[in-house]
A and B are shown apart, each in its own frame.
Chain A
């Protein structure tokens, strides 16, 4: 072997180690999807706190490399694999729920508790998607994990899919976050289709003032009520109510500030990046992933529909002056606060002085509780 042959040989070996040498069409497609996510987040402001880490994670996860170098998220011993541990073992979602609890004001719900029911009704999207997924040939565990997309709650979707269908977790998480970002696009046509003009201009009574004592008791009673019925929802509900108690107790401001600030930010970065990186083309680009995206859209549509229709049903039994504007029915899906903003936005189109945001926050936070309860049920039945 002469000198030039040696150099050429080594150069060829080097090329084999580069991303160009391992590139497939799947990687190119996934990188394009990652770039679209980042574009949507930065230019359209669609859920930037989630789509930027996920989009960048997709880029990181789809840079092709020679296997065995302990680089990929699925390779034991790699840095990404260590970070991914928090996802597959369901560590990150409860921590995010802690932060959500610490930043959520449940006053709207406490002042008008019947909004709980709207949050419950919207969870039908989960089980509607579960039925369709079963019909399409998914296993019960996979169907349960896919159905939870309809809960419109990213951490819950990740938590449940990591337990029931770890192989599908990447697709489910991406689908859930994508549709959460697209709530302002998906929900308004359904809301308008299902309501009449006179229903859209219903004015609701302003929420009453909620005392501090009520706010403190809410997480305690809420925890005991929901977790006694569905103990399998404890990781999510426990942390949600604990975070809320930190906020409302008034004596743990530092802890609440950490939970809703640095802690949730760190966990969001880690969960976004690793979930994005888990969408390696080799495992992500399958027919199942396409099916999951279709079912995710279906579950969102069902959840919005049932939420709005349930309010209309409820109005049949309510006296004039106490009726609920059905435009807040969509907020039962727990994409906080986007779906509540959609209620406000659509409501404003028909009556500029009718502010639905605070009313919509009630079912919105009830939806968070409802989807966590639903996840607990699916976990209890199918795990």
Chain B
């Protein structure tokens, strides 16, 4: 029975362990495409050729060996990725394939070429399951079509491709541009922002002014005092000198606190220093000597 339990535990443990390192090709995405490349990325021979970028959305590495790339819906197994250790994509990383129809240039070159308009497929090892696909159309050279952010659902055109890098759209800040357009001297920003800052801090002021009374521990007591003598609290302001004296007294009380001197003696150190008065030798009666 015990052996059976151990066996099951080990089995479950191994399954969990194996799953934690499992490679799911479904986590792969076609991330970016550039079908008309005139001045963009160069391959290892210095040629500008179409390329696609695959992104691993998972947090473990995935080996793409055995998967298929294609641009033909009637032939999804057009290019099978051969055995190559470089096809293992680390977590959250990219891998670029050159789609130039020239696979004898190396494993990263597919045997089909991308046109300015078409579809790209990433197909699982069974040759049937489409992991990801994208339709594209390029009207001019050197732009790319990619996901707005790595692995995101939305596709946008990039002014220039970002192969092997995170997809970051061209820096255009519409917020700032609109502020510049409608509020060139910044007065609108100043008014809005000061209004918001003031609102936040006025709200804080009101909260701590009124709401804080609800949780002040001495609230009831103070209320009673206020009801009996409303002027008393006003007149009871303590001067700075008195406050300083109280603070000093408290400081001395806390930091120099000791026992009451007339009732308790605190012995901090016990040592047995030599003294003839406590010497055993002197306290003993001398050994009687026999006198001849």
Residues of A within 8 A of B (CB): 109-110, 113-114, 116-117, 119-121, 123-124, 126-128, 130-131, 133-135, 139-141, 143, 205-206, 211, 213-214, 217-218, 221-222, 225-226, 229-230, 321, 353-355, 366, 369-370, 373-374, 377-378, 381-383
Supposing A140-B180, A206-B237, A382-B179 touch, asked if A119 and B190 sit within 8 A by C-beta, the answer is no
* Contacting pair A127 B193 (CB below 8 A): yes
A117 to B208, CA, bound (A): 12
List 26 A-B residue pairs with CB atoms under 8 Å apart, sorted by A's residue number.
A113-B204, A116-B201, A116-B204, A123-B197, A127-B193, A134-B180, A139-B176, A140-B177, A140-B179, A141-B173, A211-B218, A213-B216, A217-B212, A221-B204, A221-B207, A221-B208, A225-B200, A229-B203, A230-B196, A353-B240, A373-B196, A373-B200, A377-B197, A381-B189, A382-B176, A382-B179
Q: Which residues 189-226 of B sit at the A interface, judged by CB distance below 8 A? A: 189-190, 192-194, 196-209, 211-212, 215-218
Within the complex, the shortest CB–CB distance from B188 to chain A, in Å, comes to 10
* Contacting pair B176 A211 (CB below 8 A): no
Contacts of A211 in B (CB 8 A): 216-218
Q: Which residues 240-254 of B sit at the A interface, judged by CB distance below 8 A? A: 240-241, 243
Supposing A113-B205, A127-B189, A206-B238 touch, asked if A214 and B197 sit within 8 A by C-beta, the answer is no
Q: Is B187 part of the contact surface with A, judged by Cβ < 8 Å?
A: yes
* Contacting pair B186 A120 (CB below 8 A): no
Q: Is B139 part of the contact surface with A, judged by Cβ < 8 Å?
A: no
A321 to B235, CA, bound (A): 10
A139 to B206, CA, bound (A): 37
Supposing A141-B173, A374-B197 touch, asked if A225 and B204 sit within 8 A by C-beta, the answer is yes
Q: Which residue of chain A has the shortest Cβ distance to B198 in the bound complex?
A: A120
* Contacting pair B205 A140 (CB below 8 A): no
Supposing A128-B190, A214-B212 touch, asked if A226 and B240 sit within 8 A by C-beta, the answer is no
Q: Which residue of chain A has the shortest Cβ distance to B212 in the bound complex?
A: A214
SS class, residues of chain A in contact with chain B: helix
Q: Is B184 part of the contact surface with A, judged by Cβ < 8 Å?
A: yes
Contacts of B197 in A (CB 8 A): 120, 123, 370, 373-374, 377
* Contacting pair A225 B203 (CB below 8 A): yes
Q: Which residue of chain B has the shortest Cβ distance to A377 in the bound complex?
A: B193
Within the complex, the shortest CB–CB distance from B194 to chain A, in Å, comes to 6
Supposing A127-B189, A140-B179 touch, asked if A113 and B200 sit within 8 A by C-beta, the answer is no
Q: Which residue of chain B has the shortest Cβ distance to A366 in the bound complex?
A: B201
Supposing A130-B186, A135-B185, A206-B238 touch, asked if A114 and B203 sit within 8 A by C-beta, the answer is no
Identify the 4 closest CB pairs spanning chains A and B, nearest first: A127-B190, A131-B186, A113-B208, A120-B201
Q: Which residue of chain A has the shortest Cβ distance to B203 in the bound complex?
A: A225
Residues of B within 8 A of A (CB): 173, 175-177, 179-180, 184-187, 189-190, 192-194, 196-209, 211-212, 215-218, 234, 237-241, 243
Within the complex, the shortest CB–CB distance from B239 to chain A, in Å, comes to 8
Contacts of A130 in B (CB 8 A): 186, 189-190
A321 to B233, CA, bound (A): 13
Q: Which residue of chain B has the shortest Cβ distance to A209 in the bound complex?
A: B218
Select one of A114, A123, A214, A382 contacting B194, CB under 8 A. Answer: A123
Contacts of A128 in B (CB 8 A): 190
Contacts of B211 in A (CB 8 A): 221
Q: Which residue of chain B has the shortest Cβ distance to A382 in the bound complex?
A: B176
Contacts of A221 in B (CB 8 A): 204, 207-208, 211
A34 to B156, CA, bound (A): 46
Contacts of B189 in A (CB 8 A): 127, 130-131, 140, 381
Contacts of B243 in A (CB 8 A): 206
Supposing A135-B185, A143-B186 touch, asked if A113 and B209 sit within 8 A by C-beta, the answer is yes
A87 to B118, CA, bound (A): 44
* Contacting pair B215 A217 (CB below 8 A): yes
A110 to B189, CA, bound (A): 30
* Contacting pair B217 A213 (CB below 8 A): yes
Select one of A120, A139, A321, A374 contacting B180, CB under 8 A. Answer: A139
A sample of 17 more A-B contacts (CB under 8 A), given A120-B197, A120-B200, A377-B193, is A113-B208, A121-B198, A127-B190, A133-B186, A134-B180, A134-B185, A135-B186, A206-B238, A206-B239, A211-B217, A217-B215, A225-B204, A230-B200, A355-B240, A370-B197, A381-B179, A381-B193
Q: Which residue of chain B has the shortest Cβ distance to A353 in the bound complex?
A: B240
Contacts of B179 in A (CB 8 A): 140, 381-382
Select one of A126, A127, A369, A381 contacting B201, CB under 8 A. Answer: A369
* Contacting pair A381 B238 (CB below 8 A): no
Supposing A214-B215, A374-B193, A381-B189 touch, asked if A141 and B176 sit within 8 A by C-beta, the answer is yes
* Contacting pair A229 B193 (CB below 8 A): no
